[in-house]
Amino acid sequence: MTAFKKETEQFAAKGPAATSPQTLPAGIPGETVSVSGKYTVLPGFCDVHVHFREPGFSYKERIATGTAAAAAGGYTAVCTMPNLRPVPDSVGHLREETDIIGRDAVIPVYPFASITVGERGAELSDMRGIAEAFGPGSAAGCRGFVAGFSDDGVGVQSESLMREAMETAAKLGLPIVAHCEDESLRGKGYIHDGSYARAHGLPGISSESEWRQIERDLKLAAETGCKYHVCHISCRESVRLIREAKRRGVDVTCETAPHYLLLDCTVLRDEGRFRMNPPLREPADREALIDGVIDGTVDMIATDHAPHSEAEKAGGLAGSLFGIVGLETAFPALYTGLVKKGIITLEKLISLLTTAPRRRFGIPAGGFSVWDLGISREADPEKFLSMGRSTPFAGEVLFGECLMTSFGGKTVYRRSGAGAGAEAALAEAESAAAGRLPGQA
C-alpha cells in the first residue's frame, strides 16, 4: 500500500465526513456533472493559483505549456501569480504578461498584479492604474481581467503597508490575495517543523509562520472591509482562525491544495518533489483541512502549480527550490483520495474546483471536460504537457483520465486515442449548455 493510499484510507475509516455514494444528475444544470454512457462530462475547472513563469523564467514554464497542461487537467480558466520578471506592478509591466497571454494561451488566463513594487514589500504597486487599465470594467476586461492583487511567494511583512493595500483594494473592488508567511518566524527551514524534521535533525518551518500573519490580516480585513483571500493554507490553526472570522462576518475566503489534503509529513522523502512552501505538515493538520473542506471553511482547491527545471529540483529536500506541479494530477488525485473513499461527493469536489473559485473572483463559467472515471493509471511526470516534472504523486495509481477539454466551442485538449464516444458526450454537453445556459461556452 502506498503512503497516499494509506493516508486517505485512514481518514475515511475515521468517518468524520463519510457520505453516501453520489448520484450523478442528467444534463448540465449549472456547474454539476453529466453522464453519457461510460463518460462523465464535467464543467471546466478554474485554478486560482498557478505559476506560468512568463515573462522572465520561460525555462521553467511558458504560458503556452502551462495552459496546455491546464487543459489536459480539465481546467478552462486559471489565475497566474505575479512572481515574474518584470513583476506586474505597473500597467506597462502587466501588459508584458497579457501580451504573451493573448498570443499563446489556449484557455482564459486572469493574472494577479502585485501588491507591492517588485514584490519587495516596501511600497504599493500602481494598484489604481492597473485596476483602471485591466479591471473587470476596463476595455481589457472584455478579453480577460486582472483577478486581484497578490505578492505570492512572499508575505507582506509590514502591517501598515498591508492595511494601506487593503484600503486601496476595497475602494477598487478587487481582492487582496495573500501568501501568509511571517519571515521572523520562518527561519531557514525547508520542511515542516514537526516529527520528520526532528527525527532527521533538519530545520523546520513552523505553522505559526503561516497562521500568525493570517491572524493579523483577518483583523485588517475586518477593519477595512476588503475582500480577502488566503492562499494555500496548510495547518489546523489557519482553518480555525478563518472559520471564526467567517462567523464574525469577515469577507474572507481561502484555498488549500491537493497535496495538503492527501499527504502529510509522514510520507516525506529526501527528494525535491516533496519540497514546497508551505510544507507538508502533520496528519492532524491534514485532517483539519479536510474538516474545513467539509464544513465550508475551505472554499476552494487550487494547485499552486509551480514548475522548475530538472536541475532546480534535483537537490533533495535541502538543495531544491520550493514548488511542485499539479494541474495534470489534481482532479485524479482528489477523486481517488476523497471521492472514491466517500469523504466528499463528486458534486462537492466540482464546487471546490469550479463554482467557488469562479464566484469569488468573478470569472465566467465556460467549457467542459470529458472523463473516464473508471480508468486508473500510475501518474507519470514524463507524460506531462507542463515543462515541470516534480510531483509527490509520481507513481501513485490515480483514477480518472481526461479525454477531451473544450472551451468556446473549440477542443483545447484531446488525449490520443479519445474516440467518437467522448466526442459525442462533449457535443451533448455543449448542446445542453447552449440551450439552457446562455452565456456559457
Q: Which pTM was predicted?
A: 0.91
Contact criterion met (CB below 8 Å) for 180 and 155: yes
Q: Which domains does the chain have, with CATH numbers?
A: 46-365 (3.20.20.140)
- The pLDDT score that the predictor gives to residue 135 is 85
219: part of which helix (H) or strand (E)? helix 208-224
- The pLDDT score that the predictor gives to residue 69 is 98
- The pLDDT score that the predictor gives to residue 174 is 97
Active site (catalytic) residues: 304
Mean pLDDT of the chain: 90
* DSSP alpha helix (H) spans, 18-84: 63-72
- The pLDDT score that the predictor gives to residue 210 is 98
- The pLDDT score that the predictor gives to residue 235 is 98
Torsion of CA 381, 384, 390, 395, to 10 degrees: -20
User: What does the chain come to in residues?
Assistant: 441
Query: What percent of the chain has pLDDT above 70?
Result: 86
- The pLDDT score that the predictor gives to residue 430 is 67
171 sits in the region (left: phi over 0; alpha: psi -120 to 50; else beta) called: alpha
- The rounded distance, in Å, linking the Cα atoms of 346 and 76 is 18
pLDDT in tens, 186-244: 889 999 999 899 999 999 999 999 999 999 999 999 999 999 999 999 999 999 999 99
- The pLDDT score that the predictor gives to residue 425 is 72
- The rounded distance, in Å, linking the Cα atoms of 40 and 24 is 9
- Cis before residue 258, ω within 30 degrees of 0? no
- The pLDDT score that the predictor gives to residue 387 is 98
- The pLDDT score that the predictor gives to residue 115 is 98
CA dist 410 to 2, 426, 433, Å?
38, 11, 14
- State which residues of the chain have pLDDT below 50: 1, 11, 13-30, 142, 436-441
- The pLDDT score that the predictor gives to residue 120 is 98
